[in-house]
Structure 1
């Protein structure tokens, strides 16, 4: 469409305001006539692309605007094509087409600002119709746009959706009402039971048979989005996840080694909670969180003494690096008792 608009401008420059001012060179004349024949083709391609997109995903205000622009370009294209058929009088005919299209654009602008053509209302009707017909899921509804970008029409659409008795839709609308920003709203769709299932399938706890510490899986599921767990996805055909989270009592290890933590990187603590640090608690700031994440990520490479231990280290290279950064980087308060990563 941008190419067609540029072509319209170049053609109009060649024709100018009258035959005296118009370009007379053979190359410019032939180029302008060639572009006049090309504009209808470009307009047709733009309309076809928009039709495919709208058929797949419905109307939005942006697609309404793009469609209006495509209609304008098509008007220019058809007018130019008709002017080409007039032979030597094509310049005069082209100028008349330009004047007629300018008036049409003014009329469209007036209609665009009137209640008769509301892009937001068109979009809401289209999206609700798709949802009610089963062609769109709750996750595909543009709820954030309806609330924040689509004005009164969007608010009425949300009221209509709120009257439906569907648990998944009601939960999503509740998330929309409580979200403080768009990222938080979109991220909320990746939390809950499905996110916990993805996390537990992607991460293997070590030693074998260990249980998730209370609340840790929920926090990691909230901090790690689905793409973050892509590298930890279970191998094809089933099996445990490729990332490992190793649980160890580091304070017992410290007592045995005289106060040090050889070959261990303390990334998590057994008792932790979200929020400001209380008395007796420490919090990991961004710098310490980054160092903890890098330390955990590198442990697998340093621990190569024995196949079993080396295997755990290799898994930890993904698991600790992925898990430590998001948890600690958000200034989670932690206590000083013993869950760590070795």
Structure 2
């Protein structure tokens, strides 16, 4: 006779197992229909968005909620997500082109993740769905259950493969036959996932895992020390050598997310954070404004140099949202007094809703990154701030949707009206190239005329060290175009905005080592001084490693300072002398070339 307790347990687990199996079968149907022709592309996008968000949300909420309530809550999430994805799909000629934009897909996933705790609490505890403690517990509980479920699936299949290897020794291939049936394998994976969720729920997995909180709280002090060291070094080291790149902004934003997570862990772990860990949490909350502000600045510097691209639009949008968090966290930490933690808990709930709204806007026409980027790049060309070699033409043709292609049409009209044959050629190459690397290979060659054009506008020091066009063989066209444009940003006295200094500038002091340093103006109004290292040889020129500038160049320079440095170099007012290796001393500027 069956044990009643066991029967009850099986009945309780069955809904989760069924939901997991059904989700696996639904994803198999989607994968099987990927190249379907029955539904229009917009219809397939809608079905995909609905099923993926519906199944994901339902699996995240079942356990704390019954099957019926989890499905109803998932419906509340899936319907608006589907609408937003359809809106975003209108940016592309084919709606399913949205899947090529990983950022928009990730935004939709994060929106589902933010919405699930709010909906779960709204349906289970209507009076507590805006309380930080309950939201934090629900969020961490969901993450813990889903992680355990995914881990259980991984262990199941590892065991399955080992079992197959064992049975294969006696010519039994049943497990292999099951794994080769796609729909059955996915349904089985989903069922195992649901079973894992059920077991975790049976063990009280609805609460936040306290062991994880205890471990994460150990990181508060080390992270606070690292952030403090970074902020303290900024006045000494300066920012110009490190910022102005999306990699810098990405590092800052990633660290800001870590800081926010650790502060929230401290607020969940202790009602009133105290002791060394509490002080570290409060310091991180106060420093968050500085880190997020620097992230915004890093993105803006890049935009100022090279205009907008979709990645920079997304980066600035995310950085601005993080800056809003930073301002709120710092305000509570600095001005909140002894009640700072309670104030921050209330602020965090509102910030979560604001973040969800900001992410949702990315999927609407309000923040169409492709349109913003295309207008920016076209405007740069029309204003004479960019040449064809610098433009992301292939991305506009193949990644930026209809807005990118509309931008290419505007550039084509401009090229025809202005007689810009180089732009016309590059537009044709960008449209016809199947991949970016194919386009890069097409522009590898450099004509003799372009090399001669560079020598005509570029001053050289010492006076007798003038290179020949052959010395520049092996360089790419876009490199020479960039240097020529820098040279044509003239100094106030009409001299070129660049200079090439030849000499033994590397790790070797051998005078026969034919190296050179190229200084040229770049950026808006030529306000930025760029430094590149070259080595001349029998096969032409090759680009060397990074160029390290001395203390005088690590801070922002004015246009007058850039012009003064170039004028001094053109007049020969410099010296080449050994430090730890030979460097170029140009007034207060010292340049070191590293291999």
Match of 1:28 in 2: 277
**DSSP 3-state at the match of 1:163:** helix
Aligned length: 217
- Aligned partners of 2:291, 2:425: CA distance in 1, in Å? 44
Match of 1:57 in 2: 306
- Aligned partners of 1:86, 1:180: CA distance in 2, in Å? 57
- Aligned partners of 1:72, 1:120: CA distance in 2, in Å? 20
1:73-92 correspondence runs (5 A)? 73-84=322-333, 85-92=335-342
The offset of 1:196, in angstroms, is: 9.2
Whether the 8 Å CA contact 1:187–1:225 is kept in 2: the answer is: no
TM-score normalised to structure 1 length: 0.56
Structure 1 unaligned regions, length at least 5: 204-220, 228-234, 243-316, 320-342
1:250-329 correspondence runs (5 A)? none
**Partner deviation per Cα, 1:216-246 (whole Å, 9 max, x = no partner):** xxxxx8xx6649xxxxxxx969xxxx9xxxx
- Aligned partners of 1:67, 1:51: CA distance in 2, in Å? 7
- Aligned partners of 2:446, 2:431: CA distance in 1, in Å? 17
1:6 to 246, 258, 269: 258
Match of 1:215 in 2: none
**Partner deviation per Cα, 1:288-339 (whole Å, 9 max, x = no partner):** xxxxxxxxxxxxxxxxxxxxxxxxxxxxx966xxxxxxxxxxxxxxxxxxxx
Structure 2 unaligned regions, length at least 5: 1-252, 453-467, 478-500, 504-513, 515-536, 540-595
The offset of 1:147, in angstroms, is: 0.6
**DSSP 3-state at the match of 1:116:** helix
Match of 1:187 in 2: 441
Match of 2:320 in 1: 71
Whether the 8 Å CA contact 1:72–1:101 is kept in 2: the answer is: no
The reply on whether 1:170 has 2:424 as its aligned counterpart is yes
The offset of 1:188, in angstroms, is: 2.4
Whether the 8 Å CA contact 1:15–1:22 is kept in 2: the answer is: yes
Match of 2:411 in 1: 161
Larger Rg: 1
**DSSP 3-state at the match of 1:16:** helix
Whether the 8 Å CA contact 1:40–1:78 is kept in 2: the answer is: yes
Quote the RMSD (CA, aligned, Å). 3.3
1:211-226 correspondence runs (5 A)? 226=476
- Aligned partners of 2:440, 2:396: CA distance in 1, in Å? 14
**Which of the pair has the greater relative contact order for Cα pairs under 8 Å at 6+ separation?**
1
1:120 to 359, 370, 378: 370
Match of 1:140 in 2: 390
TM-score normalised to structure 2 length: 0.33
The reply on whether 1:45 has 2:313 as its aligned counterpart is no
1:28–1:148: structure 2 CA closer, same or farther, 3 Å change rule?
Answer: same
